[in-house]
A and B are shown apart, each in its own frame.
Chain A
Amino acid sequence: MARALINVPRKAQRGDVIEIKTLLSHPMETGYRRDNVGNPIPRDIISRFVCVYNGTEVFQADLFPAVAANPFLSFFTVATESGTLEFRWTDDHGNTQTASASIEVE
């Protein structure tokens, strides 16, 4: 299980636009490189990222091999209600990694 770093403000005023930063430790192997003995290194790419706010998908991203290793994403969302933000990274093989953060909206 790769490590995910999430930065979400713990508290926010209702209607505030909050910044969310996510970073997943992942090689994002392009499939174009070769190892020391010349064998191609198989492709291993996080191709989809989704941010779910209390069950509603608020932000999605399709990622390609041109995304740097350890994909970092920073985006915004409107703090509408207290609850949890769930983050899902899905790779080429359909394996999903999740992380979540809670937010308190006043």
Chain B
Amino acid sequence: MWWLFSPPCITKLEVMDIYPHHTAATRRIFLTGVGGLICSFGVAPTFVVRPAEATPASIAAAIREAVGEAPVRQGRVKLDIPPLVENGNTVSLTVSVDSPMTEQDHVKSIHIFNEKNPQPNVAIFHLGPRVGRARVSMRIRLADSQKVVVIARLSDDSFWYDSVVVMVTLAACLEDLR
């Protein structure tokens, strides 16, 4: 008697098993294709050949390279950057460090890192007592919504950091070509 019921069961299982997988696969391929077309502006390849993104592993490596094995503490540094950005091509940011900037106690350098651009480094500033006030402003690119990290090295070789998560509506990748 069991074989009377089994065929529909098997067919149903097969459909259930294959169909969602099938749609998911096509949707993924379609989306990748659209992304590829947008990124490469209608050029033939359907798959995006993106440069290696700065994964959290590479940002960690970049920070290690700048800091070494020294501990990095939170505080003294303030990163001012809008939390919601419309255009990732120009994001203005200001870094300020709480420091008297004297010969004995000053900021040696400020390092800015990002998580998801193709490269983890953004900029390194070398300061000294002649700078007078440890505050730097600039404009950066952000390829995606991500965390921006700032690390300051003080004259006593202590490291301090601040980080902000930035949401980007239009990524720097989609910039129009002139």
Contact = CB atoms under 8 A, between A and B. Distances in A.
Whether both chains belong to one complex is answered with: yes
B142 to A, nearest CB: 8
B38 to A, nearest CB: 12
Interface string A63-106: 11111111111111110100000000000000000000000000
Contacts of B138: 67-68, 71-74
Nearest to B127: A59
B136 A38 contact: no
B118 A61 contact: no
A67 B132 contact: no
A83 B60 CA distance: 43
A3 interface: no
A75 B177 contact: no
Contacts of A74: 136-138
A43 to B, nearest CB: 11
Contacts of A80: 130
Contacts of A72: 92, 137-139
A61 B135 CA distance: 13
B121 interface: yes
A94 B147 CA distance: 32
A34 B43 CA distance: 10
A76 B131 contact: yes
B139 A60 contact: no
A75 B141 contact: no
A7 B132 CA distance: 17
A64 B114 CA distance: 11
B121 A64 contact: yes
Contact of A17 (B123, B132, B142): B132
A89 B40 CA distance: 31
Given A61-B123, A80-B130, 12 more contacts: A34-B40, A59-B127, A60-B125, A60-B126, A64-B119, A66-B141, A67-B122, A67-B139, A68-B139, A68-B140, A75-B136, A76-B133
